[in-house]
């Protein structure tokens, strides 16, 4: 008997900016990604530059039919993707949407439904229109709430009946680490005060709640969730000071979902704001808006981290959110520590904390893949390392189900190779499908099935019984 429920939503995930390309086609405006060629810590360039791999991506904009067909062949029940806000509102602050942009996603969703696949749509996956970033300094400006709500209402109305599952902001907690790419904040991170950062976060949280409200009003049959960069934080030692340090870091991450799920600022925020001299402007209406909470919690999971009370141990290397390396874990080539049991632990923590359904919307193994040619002329990648990683994580998902956690589904990240977020390169690959494109811009863009393609197909077909 499979431990996975019959209606478990198996699938894969991508994001517009990392796949679509066609960065200036059919009326699309520029987004922050189009001027950030050197990874998530890079400074924006004044114009899009030809070494920005995202301008072409994997050309999903023109090849979505072929790609969705491959996902259908693996048996996907759900396909997570994002809408590029600047395709719909090229500047972000106009009233009238760009019809061509809306049409594109109509076609994509229709294609999914052709195969019985439900789209799971992120409204904003690091794709703030550049104009909003430059003119309003992104989420620092309260006006962003209206612009986002208008965008959300526009797409909810347009795709009524086509999209049942929505997410507001991808990894909303990453704004503290990447204020430009995640929050459209043009002011350089070094010059951004905590006061301004947390006011921006407040605006984004209110905007998220307004989108949730709009979704509930306009699409009563749909469900909308929050999305956080998930990461269990372990104390490096049992020393009480380390335990408290890990609690502190854990709260920095849960701060966002605590508000999105519970509808109000958590008690611990008070001390944090006081000690950091943060005084937020929160209106009565904001408080009212925040009460509209999400239907489920989604998150990405790649790694865990450790925390210590000794700041000199904090290398910040590898793990996205910093922290101290865990001596018991191995790491990927990029220093991301591999921790399948951490996923079971985290699923339990989330469910204990919120008692709402959870959805793993990103998990995967970034690696350098080698495309080889078989005797019969077909090309493939023997990515056993990826199969092992995913298998080990899914075994822990099954354990968490046994623990009683209500898990809606699992969408593996980068189900087709795409441009990496943190490195802005294509050589860090995640897909079940290899895309022939290299970081020097060469390659045919042809798609090839990796060994993991058939493995995942089997996982879905057996509802996880072969794990
Ligand atoms: C998450 C992002 C994704 C994705 C993934 C893997 O943080 O939501 O956009 O890219 O991480 O990261 P990377 O591409 O840097 O390996």
- Weakest mean pLDDT among 150-164, 314-328, 420-434: 314-328
Nearest CA to ligand 1 atom 2: 421
CA distances from 441 to 118, 152, 414, 446 (A): 33, 34, 19, 13
Per-residue pLDDT tens over the stretch 266-299: 999 999 999 999 999 999 999 999 999 999 999 9
* Residue 423 CA to ligand 1 centre (angstroms): 9
Identify the CATH number of the domain defined by range 9-234+252-306+335-461: 3.20.20.80
* Residue 95 CA to ligand 1 centre (angstroms): 31
Nearest CA to ligand 1 atom 11: 421
ipTM of the complex: 0.98
* Residue 366 CA to ligand 1 centre (angstroms): 9
Tell which residue, 298, 303, 317, has the closest CA to residue 357: 298
Structure tokens belonging to residue 53: 């791999």
pLDDT the model gives residue 1: 74
Q: Rounded to the nearest 5 degrees, what angle is found at the Cα of 362, between the Cα atoms of 311 and 302?
A: 30
* Residue 419 CA to ligand 1 centre (angstroms): 9
**Residue 462 to residue 134: CA distance in whole angstroms:** 49
Per-residue pLDDT tens over the stretch 381-399: 999 999 999 999 999 999 9
Residues 6+ positions from 203 with CB-CB distance below 8 Å: 139, 140, 141, 142, 144, 145
pLDDT classification of 320: cutoffs 50, 70, 90: low
pLDDT classification of 317: cutoffs 50, 70, 90: low
Which atom of ligand 1 lies closest to the CA of 40? Answer: 15
pLDDT the model gives residue 131: 98
Nearest CA to ligand 1 atom 9: 421
Q: Are 20 and 60 in contact (CB under 8 A)?
A: yes
Of 41, 305, 386, 422, the one to substitute when testing ligand 1's pocket (max ligand atoms within 8 A of C-beta) is 422
Of 183, 362, 369, the one to substitute when testing ligand 1's pocket (max ligand atoms within 8 A of C-beta) is 362
Nearest CA to ligand 1 atom 4: 421
Q: Are 137 and 186 in contact (CB under 8 A)?
A: yes
pLDDT at 316 over 70: no
pLDDT classification of 240: cutoffs 50, 70, 90: very high
**Which residues lie with the beta carbon below 6 Å from any ligand 1 atom?**
15, 170-171, 229, 300, 362, 366, 413, 420-423, 428
- How high does pLDDT run on average in the chain? 96
Per-residue pLDDT tens over the stretch 350-393: 999 999 999 999 999 999 999 999 999 999 999 999 999 999 99
* Residue 18 CA to ligand 1 centre (angstroms): 9
Domain boundaries, the chain: 9-234+252-306+335-461
Structure tokens belonging to residue 353: 């904390």
pLDDT the model gives residue 25: 98
* Residue 181 CA to ligand 1 centre (angstroms): 12
Q: Are 318 and 335 in contact (CB under 8 A)?
A: yes
Of 15, 420, 426, the one to substitute when testing ligand 1's pocket (max ligand atoms within 8 A of C-beta) is 420
Which atom of ligand 1 lies closest to the CA of 423? Answer: 15
pLDDT classification of 43: cutoffs 50, 70, 90: confident
Mean pLDDT, range 165-193, rounded to an integer: 95
The catalytic site residues sit at: 362
pLDDT the model gives residue 335: 87
């Amino acid at each position: 008997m499979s431990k996975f429920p019959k209606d478990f939503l198996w699938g894969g995930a991508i994001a517009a900016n990392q796949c679509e390309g066609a960065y200036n086609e059919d009326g699309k405006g520029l987004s922050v990604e189009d001027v950030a060629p050197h990874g998530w810590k890079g400074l924006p360039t004044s114009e899009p530059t030809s070494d920005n791999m995202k301008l072409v991506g994997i050309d999903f904009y023109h090849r979505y039919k072929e790609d969705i067909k491959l996902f259908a062949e693996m048996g996907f029940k759900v396909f997570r993707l994002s809408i590029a806000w600047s395709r719909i509102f090229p500047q972000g602050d106009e009233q009238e949407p760009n019809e061509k942009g809306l049409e594109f996603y109509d076609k994509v969703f229709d294609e999914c439904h052709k195969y019985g696949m439900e789209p799971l749509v992120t409204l904003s996956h690091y794709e703030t229109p550049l104009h909003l970033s430059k003119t309003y300094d992104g989420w620092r400006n309260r006006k962003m709430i209206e612009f986002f709500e208008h965008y959300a209402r526009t797409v909810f109305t347009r795709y009524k009946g086509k999209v049942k599952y929505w997410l507001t902001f991808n990894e909303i907690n990453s704004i503290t680490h990447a204020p430009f790419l995640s929050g459209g904040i043009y002011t350089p991170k070094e010059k951004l005060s905590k006061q301004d950062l947390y006011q921006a976060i407040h605006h984004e949280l209110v905007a998220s709640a307004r989108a949730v409200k709009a979704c509930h009003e306009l699409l009563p049959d749909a469900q909308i969730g929050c999305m956080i960069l998930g990461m269990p934080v372990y104390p490096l030692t049992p020393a009480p000071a380390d335990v408290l340090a890990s609690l502190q870091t854990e709260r920095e991450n849960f701060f966002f979902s605590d508000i999105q799920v519970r509808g109000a600022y958590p008690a611990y925020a008070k001390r944090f704001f006081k000690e950091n001299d943060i005084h937020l402007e929160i209106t009565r209406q904001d408080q009212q808006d925040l009460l509209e909470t999400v239907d489920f919690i989604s998150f990405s999971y790649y790694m865990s981290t450790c925390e210590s009370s000794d700041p000199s141990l904090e290398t910040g290397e590898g793990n996205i959110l910093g922290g101290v390396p865990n001596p018991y874990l191995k790491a990927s080539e990029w220093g991301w520590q591999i921790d399948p049991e951490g996923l079971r632990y985290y699923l339990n923590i989330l469910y204990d904390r919120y008692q709402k359904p959870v959805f793993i919307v990103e998990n995967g193994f970034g690696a350098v893949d080698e495309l080889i040619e078989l005797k019969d002329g077909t090309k493939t990648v023997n990515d056993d390392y990826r199969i092992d990683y995913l298998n080990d994580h899914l075994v822990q998902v099954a354990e968490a189900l046994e623990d009683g956690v209500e898990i809606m589904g699992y969408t593996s990240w980068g189900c087709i190779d795409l441009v990496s977020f943190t490195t802005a390169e294509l050589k860090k690959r995640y897909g079940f499908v290899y895309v022939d494109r290299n970081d020097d811009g060469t390659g045919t863009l042809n798609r090839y099935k990796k060994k993991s393609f058939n493995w995942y197909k089997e996982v879905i077909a057996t509802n996880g019984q072969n794990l």
